[in-house]
């Protein structure tokens, strides 16, 4: 079955900002959420599509893959991976809608029970991180082993993540430590109760008197970590490598790291998939007679056979001398575009011979 385009599912343009993507998602989720359409299987299906589109487009590395390769670009992800980066609950909470991953059986009918089980494990998982890495054409040919350094936030042990000097905090005086405030509004016989987080303590219920000096009251510290990564040969722009457990710190487990590759443009080799193109200057007399010349290839010198009577702009194909295809033993082609050059500075003898040739 063909999958719908994620942008049309959300009804947005391809160049929409993250803010617009989020707005579009909320609007549609309000309309199709199962709490609003009980037992309506069409709405459920629609909601699942909306969720998936949002999960992909709201995550920079998945979005880039999708933008470049369409649905095919996401084949390396399990459904679980696709949804792992989105906290749907917090996005929808403001609307009083229920937990999407709750007990409503069948809502995620396309999912394995494992993915629902893992959902609860994601609580306490650190943030996923993205690391952009630029490589050159040589790295595409041979692959690349590299050590990178990432920075993530980890709990400050000095203050036990409280942000307070020695970890000593007081109850918030505005909400008495509850973290939330309740406003009551009477209208006739009805009483409206509205619960909202306490703005003074940000819902934490505690107040910091003296800030922790080590983390300056943030409760978190920047940690640098060196990680060895391997970029496979044949990588292309937007290729993302997932490194499990090397993301940000969480209370129960680390998030994942996504290394997103971009390939530097090369002045000599122009890439098209696994094929490379180069332009070669060829003496027009040699082009007329045919012959062979040495050219610079991706892996050293290549011998190019020049057919007799080659013309300016002709292409000569050298098989299996292009770029490797990722995850396969296939190698693309090196395609040479000929640029014929008329010889200059000929000596007397050479000119005489050419004139004789013209008169034959
Ligand atoms: Zn601290
Ligand atoms: Zn408070």
What is the distance, to the nearest Å, from the Cα of residue 161 to the centroid of all Cα atoms in its chain? 30
Tokens (6 digits) for 270 = 């122009």
Of 320, 270, 154, the residue nearest 222 (C-alpha): 154
Question: Torsion angle, CA of 24/25/31/32, rounded to 10 degrees?
Answer: 140
Ligand with smallest separation from the Cα of 179: 2
Task: Answer whether 0.85 is exceeded by the pTM.
Answer: no
Cα 121 to middle of ligand 1, angstroms: 26
What is the distance, to the nearest Å, from the Cα of residue 197 to the centroid of all Cα atoms in its chain? 34
pLDDT digits (tens, 9 = 90+) for 2-53: 678 999 999 999 888 888 998 898 888 878 876 677 777 787 788 888 888 9
| β-strands 257-263, 291-297 pairing | unpaired
Cα 151 to middle of ligand 1, angstroms: 17
Coil/strand/helix, residue 130:
strand
With beta carbons less than 8 A apart as the criterion, state whether 261 and 237 touch.
Answer: yes
Q: What is the pLDDT of residue 91?
A: 64
Cα 210 to middle of ligand 2, angstroms: 17
Comparing 198-202, 265-269, 278-282, the range with the smallest average pLDDT is 198-202
Of 99, 172, 117, 139, the residue nearest 259 (C-alpha): 139
Ligand with smallest separation from the Cα of 163: 1
Residue-averaged pLDDT of the chain:
84
Tokens (6 digits) for 307 = 């057919």
DSSP state of 324: B
Ligand with smallest separation from the Cα of 212: 1
Residue 74 has pLDDT above 90, yes or no: no
DSSP for 172-237, written as a single string: -TTTTTSSEEEEEEEETTEEEEEEEE-TTTTTS-EEESSB-TTTTTSSEEEEEEEEEEEEPTT--T
Q: What is the pLDDT of residue 113?
A: 30
Measured between alpha carbons, how far is 330 from 279 in angstroms, rounded to an integer?
Answer: 24
pLDDT digits (tens, 9 = 90+) for 227-268: 999 999 999 999 999 999 888 887 788 888 999 999 999 999
With beta carbons less than 8 A apart as the criterion, state whether 156 and 214 touch.
Answer: yes
Highest mean pLDDT among 51-55, 188-192, 216-220, 306-310: 306-310
């Amino acid at each position: 079955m063909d999958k719908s385009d994620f942008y049309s599912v959300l009804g947005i343009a391809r160049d929409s900002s993250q803010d617009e993507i989020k707005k579009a998602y909320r609007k549609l989720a309000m309309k199709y959420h199962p709490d609003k359409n009980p037992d309506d299987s069409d709405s459920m299906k629609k909601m699942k599509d909306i969720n998936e589109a949002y999960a992909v487009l709201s995550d920079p590395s998945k979005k880039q893959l999708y933008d470049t390769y369409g649905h095919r670009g996401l084949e390396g992800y399990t459904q679980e991976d696709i949804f792992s980066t989105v906290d749907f609950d917090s996005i929808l909470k403001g609307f009083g809608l229920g937990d999407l991953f709750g007990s409503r059986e069948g809502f995620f009918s396309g999912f394995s029970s494992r993915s629902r089980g893992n959902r609860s494990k994601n609580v306490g998982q650190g943030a996923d991180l993205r690391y952009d890495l630029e490589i050159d054409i040589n790295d595409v040919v041979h692959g690349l082993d590299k050590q990178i350094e990432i920075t993530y936030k980890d709990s400050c042990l000095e203050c036990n993540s409280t942000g307070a000097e020695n970890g000593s905090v007081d109850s918030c005086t505005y909400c008495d430590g509850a973290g939330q405030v309740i406003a009551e509004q009477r209208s006739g016989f009805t009483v409206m109760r509205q619960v909202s987080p306490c703005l003074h303590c940000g819902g934490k219920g505690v107040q910091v008197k003296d800030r922790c000096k080590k983390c300056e009251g943030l409760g978190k510290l920047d940690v640098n970590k060196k990680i060895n990564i391997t970029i496979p040969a044949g990588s292309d722009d937007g290729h993302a490598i997932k490194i499990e457990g090397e993301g940000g710190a969480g209370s129960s487990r680390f998030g994942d790291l996504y290394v997103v590759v971009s390939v530097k443009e090369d002045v000599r080799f122009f890439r098209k998939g696994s094929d490379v193109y180069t332009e070669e200057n060829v003496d027009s007399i040699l082009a007329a007679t045919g012959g062979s010349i040495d050219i610079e290839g991706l892996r050293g010198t290549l011998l190019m056979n020049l057919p007799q009577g080659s013309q300016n702009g002709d292409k000569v194909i050298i098989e299996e001398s292009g770029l490797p295809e990722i995850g396969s033993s296939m190698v693309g082609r090196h395609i040479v575009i000929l640029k014929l050059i008329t010889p200059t500075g000929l000596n007397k003898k050479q000119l005489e011979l050419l004139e004789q040739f013209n008169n034959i």
